[in-house]
Structure 1
Amino acid sequence: MVDVAHFRAILEGERDRKHALLKALRQDIGSVSAARENSNVDDEHDPEGSTIAFELSQATALLEQSRAGLEQIEGALERISDGSYGFCAVCGAAIPEGRLEARPWTPFCIGHASARS
């Protein structure tokens, strides 16, 4: 039997870290966007333009990845609440505890996770 309290604590900690990361990334995106808007030169002709565009693109990609990670964490916390945590969403088999230690948000056993890749 999976120690649900242990995994709830891990997931809640991860959720808190994701929320903090999302807040920081939004601030970074806002700062970069403001710098870009306050510039009188367009990116194409500004020696710093490609750097600003790259930073904005990178921060936006990280924001999307973090949102997706947060959704996975929230899903795992919901599964804990409804009693389905630790069981594969496809076949219903118990997910090995070692896999949950590595990826506590996973809804899939190893076989079904690799089939989805």
Structure 2
Amino acid sequence: MTEDHRDAALSPSEQATMRELLDADRQMTTARVAMLGRDRDEIVESSALTASDDEHDPEGTSTAFERAHVQALLEQALTHLADLDLAFERLREGSYGICEKCGQRIGIERLMALPATKTCVICASGRR
């Protein structure tokens, strides 16, 4: 760990708080992934039981849209889950809370709002 990181590292109480927030976020996201997976499977199963001619089926386009929408939400949730896993890894390594772009400390308020974030407010806004 560089000297910069030692100065910017989270305090033990901040680390504990962030570990709890990351864990809670991971549990909620895992439950969301499971729910969206079930929803997707139900849509696929129900569409397999109906006519496959979307062009002439009045419900066909909405079913296709619904399936695509649920799939997109599932992919977002899986990406967030991966981001949370990386945040846990950074927490273990001691680099959690350090902006990956500028190397400065990420404000605790930002971390509490977005526990998986990798950038400070300034870098995230493109001002740096």
Q: TM-score, normalised by structure 2?
A: 0.84
- SS of 2:30 mapped into structure 1: helix
Q: Deviations over 1:60-106 (max 9, x none)?
A: 11011111111111111111011111111122211111111221111
Query: 1:41, CA displacement in angstroms?
Result: 4.5
Long gaps (5+) in structure 2: 1-9
Distance 1:43 1:79, change over 3 A: same
Aligned to 2:110: 99
- SS of 1:89 mapped into structure 2: coil
- SS of 1:90 mapped into structure 2: coil
RMSD: 1.5
Task: Say whether 1:70 aligns with 2:103.
Answer: no
Task: Say whether 1:6 aligns with 2:48.
Answer: no
Distance 1:100 1:41, change over 3 A: closer
Q: What CA distance in whole angstroms lies between the structure 1 residues aligned with 2:93 and 2:60?
A: 49
Percent identity, aligned pairs only?
A: 38
Q: Tell me which of 103, 110, 115 is aligned to 2:121.
A: 110
Aligned to 1:27: 38
Match of 1:48, as an amino acid? E
Task: Say whether 1:82 aligns with 2:93.
Answer: yes
- Runs in 1 of length 4+ with deviation above 3 angstroms? none
Which structure has more RCO (C-alpha within 8 Å, separation ≥ 6)? 2
Q: What CA distance in whole angstroms lies between the structure 1 residues aligned with 2:81 and 2:126?
A: 23
Match of 2:42, as an amino acid? S
Query: 1:115, CA displacement in angstroms?
Result: 2.3
